[in-house]
A and B are shown apart, each in its own frame.
Chain A
Amino acid sequence: MAAPRDSQGRPIVVVTGMGIVTSLGAGKADNWARLISGTSGIRAIKRFSTEGLKTKVAGTVDFVPCDPPAAAELAERLAELAAEEAIAESGLGSRGNFPGPLFLAVAPIELEWPQREALAQAAGANAGVTYDDLIRSANTGKFRNIHERFVFGSVGHHLADKFGTQGSPISLSTACASGASAIQLGLEGIRRGEIDAALCVGTDGSVNAESLIRFSLLSALSTQNEPASEASKPFSKNRDGFVMAEGAGALVLESYEHATARGAKILGVLEGCGELADSFHRTRSSPDGKPVIGCMRKALADAGITPDDVDYINAHGTSTPENDKMEAMSTAAVFGERMKTLPISSNKSMIGHTLSAAGAVEAVVTVMTLDHQRIPPTINYKVPDPTIQLDVVPNVARDAKMRHAISNSFGFGGQNVSLVFAREPA
């Protein structure tokens, strides 16, 4: 029997395992229950002093032990949790031996203040501290652990070792589209026929003072600190920026042929992916929306479906004034008059913006949405924006009949990726 192929003659790619951890909790069951009940994971930051900062809230994951307390370390812990859940659900491979490569979306890694301080103290400089002092300390050989923790490849290689993924693990960053890019790389690899399965993970644990200050200095963050749970309000007229958050999402992708041959349960189908970069500006989208419109159209074409086939949009929906306006305009351009009634909701209203993880976290939620035939709401939708004519599934979850859904991810640096999922193979 010929292997099953999609409308373009390529191997069909399915999802056979998923894992998720966010500020709402660990695991699919807890996250789904809280997403459907419209619960916010955003709270006052306790991890570090917010004295002097304009933004004092985030969707931190505080229930996962992390030592040393560094973004790279937490990213690794969160990714482990999500990957463990996804692999267990897929039933693929054996413990420590996953039969496919790792594609990991992870934030750029850098040394943090506690490490710099330790190096400075060890240098014992009397006058002003300079990098020459830090280098002198580093060269003593007493800080070897700092190197391994803070090289960019550390999280990926550690995860590859732990789960026994095959070949060279790819760590990638396409800013806030990273999670979707990791899934895209897995999809492409299976379509090329090189691999039967892939572990695609997006993770982010970077709510620390310096990261928050960087986004704050770009005026990207909400400064509505009270009540914290209402800071993220995508598509609302009074939206005032995104809320930083942490989390991880993991998907086991597999060729349909490989999955059915081993009798695996199929959770969803990854029908297609679109990508288009924007050359307009480093942080702002092209005002005409062309790259985002093109990105969604490429995704639909790649999936072999038309705009009319789409039943739900999992929005990028960051709650920044610019993104939400641009996304509303661009979806209207792609879906036309239907956009007034086509449900589009933002998981970020509850989870916050998990940055490098967001594309993977929201892909997991999109597949759960199709599976449950129920749409998580956009919470905190109290003041409609008259310029945004969308059905954002305001405040309350809703049942709906859905076959195809699209999940959008857009990021700094002109990164745009859209994924198309279906409930079952065509």
Chain B
Amino acid sequence: MAEPRRDVVITGIGIVSSLGEGLDAHWRKLEEARPGADSQTYAPCVVHPIVAIDFDKQIPKKGDQRQMEPWQRIGTYAAGLALENAGIKGNAELTSRMDMIVAAGGGERDATVDGAILTGMRSAPSKEDFINERLMSDLRPTLFLAQLSNLLAGNISIVHGVTGSSRTFMGEESSGFDAVRIALQRIQAGQSDITLVGGAHNGERKDMLMLYGAGGYTLKGGYSPVWDRAAQGGGFALGSLGAFLVLESREHAAARGATPIARLAAVLAESARRQDGQITAALDGMWERLAAANKIDEAHAAIISGASGAEPATAEERAFLGHHKALPVRATGSHIGHGPEPQFAMNIALAALALKHGRLFAPVPDPSGMEQPMNGALTQVVVTGVGHWRGEGLALVETAN
């Protein structure tokens, strides 16, 4: 006999992006509907740069900060905000048994070293020997650790003392869906009481603009909202952002007197093979499973979409959204850009934030008409995620009670 599944609530949120840091700053900017995009610095690509952060506030030792590349600093900072928001920062008894799942990319390059090697190898007698010589003398030994995917989790253990368990999922958007999904399932089943889950992404990276550019996925030629990029051939604007959630069983939260921000009811993930129409079918299938297990009150529900603008993913997600026209939609990619790994956790955080306010934030001025104002109370949010290349995810977030 399977034991009844435990209720899971969100008791802490730590978010940082181009809009600011923390819940209040995000709410203000979302209401103002003024996306923070930069079309100049990385032209023709568009990015959403991270706001100025005083990293000392969450990573007090400069020595620790020096051991991290920006994506790790953003993540370690956001994790600290989440622990603080949950009221457990520095509570060693709790953090030492707290579980952790991080969705991570990695591999930030030293652009100067790479450029010098690519320049020099053109005239080197032996390219391989030249690469060896340059890397042996020019690579910082600790750069490797700043690149390793699992070292965001490692840094969170070191800086914030989260050591119950530590797992790092990789794989762009999918890693974000699965990190939250596994964290939820483990708490529901009693395999964990409290878990820190999330991720971080640095969008201001030329090596990533190169990789995603090679696939034809980056937005070029200036900013536009994600629903209105057809004329530009679609594409995403990479976003620098970090998002961590503290998930907890309802009993565990109650026992320590924590106030839930929202309830995480369900998370589903799929891997459609991506022939025509399969993304829409995967999302429809997950919606069916979600609706079968949870009553969705259409009058008080909305959709926070992880649509990135990448095609054909965004067009197929639109077809899916067309099956649920009663629900107002907001795409956060228009505001904060696309951070493949942390976007899903971020959107669950923003869903919880809207539920906390009891209403949905304003639509982005959008000629496509995809985003409509919502009047009235908000009690449920469905969060979508569609990987630019592979992976589909869906979550249901509800008011805490």
Contact = CB atoms under 8 A, between A and B. Distances in A.
Q: Do A and B come from one complex?
A: yes
Interface of A: 48-53, 106, 108-111, 113, 116-117, 119-120, 128-132, 134-135, 138-139, 141, 143-144, 146-148, 150-153, 156-157, 160-161, 167-175, 181, 185, 188-189, 191-194, 209-210, 213-218, 275-283, 291, 411-415
Contact of B136 (A49, A53, A281, A282): A53
B154 A413 contact: yes
Interface stretch (B30-38, B79-87, B155-163, B325-333): B155-163
Interface of B: 2, 44-45, 67, 100, 104-107, 109, 111, 114-119, 121-122, 126-129, 131-133, 135-136, 139, 141, 143-145, 147-151, 153-155, 157-158, 161-172, 174-175, 177-178, 181-182, 185-186, 189, 191, 206-207, 209-218, 220, 269-271, 273, 387, 389-391, 393
Contact of A151 (B116, B209, B389): B389
B396 to A, nearest CB: 17
A116 B177 contact: no
Given A108-B107, A209-B131, A279 B163 contact: yes
Nearest to A53: B132
Given A192-B185, A282-B151, 15 more contacts: A51-B128, A51-B133, A120-B118, A131-B209, A152-B105, A168-B174, A168-B178, A188-B191, A209-B135, A277-B163, A278-B157, A279-B158, A413-B148, A413-B157, A415-B166
B128 to A, nearest CB: 4
B144 A217 contact: yes
Given A135-B206, A278-B157, A168 B270 contact: yes
B22 to A, nearest CB: 25
Given A49-B129, A111-B211, A152-B172, A213 B135 contact: yes
A119 B210 contact: yes
Nearest to B141: A217
B215 A174 contact: no
B148 A132 contact: no
Given A168-B174, A170-B178, A412-B154, A113 B131 contact: yes
Given A192-B189, A282-B67, A148 B389 contact: yes
Contacts of A175: 148, 150
Nearest to B2: A193
A172 B136 contact: no
Contact of A48 (B109, B128, B391): B128
A194 B131 CA distance: 48
A139 B217 CA distance: 9
22 contacts: A49-B126, A108-B149, A113-B117, A113-B127, A116-B118, A128-B115, A135-B210, A139-B218, A146-B214, A147-B211, A147-B217, A170-B169, A171-B174, A175-B150, A191-B191, A209-B128, A217-B136, A217-B139, A277-B154, A280-B158, A412-B145, A412-B151
B133 to A, nearest CB: 5
A214 B107 CA distance: 12
Contact of B45 (A135, A168, A282): A135
B166 A413 contact: yes
Contacts of A141: 216
B153 A413 contact: yes
Given A51-B129, A144-B215, A414 B148 contact: no
Contacts of A193: 2, 189
Nearest to B205: A131
Given A51-B128, A135-B206, A414 B390 contact: no
Nearest to B217: A147
Contact of B210 (A117, A131, A188, A209): A131
A404 B107 CA distance: 39
Contacts of B175: 152-153, 171
Contacts of B213: 135, 138-139
B215 A147 contact: yes
A211 B44 CA distance: 32
Given A169-B271, A213-B136, A281-B158, A413 B206 contact: no
A47 to B, nearest CB: 10
Contact of B170 (A106, A128, A189): A106
Contact of A172 (B157, B167, B206, B269): B167
A342 B396 CA distance: 51
A389 B83 CA distance: 43
Contacts of B189: 191-193
A337 to B, nearest CB: 29
Contacts of B168: 172-174
A398 B214 CA distance: 54
B115 A413 contact: no
Contacts of A168: 174, 177-178, 181, 269-271, 391, 393
Contacts of A160: 271
Given A135-B210, A153-B175, A174 B167 contact: yes
A248 B100 CA distance: 26
Given A147-B211, A151-B389, A275-B165, A130 B115 contact: yes
Contacts of B220: 139
Given A52-B129, A173-B150, A194-B185, A277 B271 contact: no
A134 B104 CA distance: 24
Contacts of B191: 188, 191-192
Contact of A276 (B117, B163, B215): B163
Contacts of A120: 118
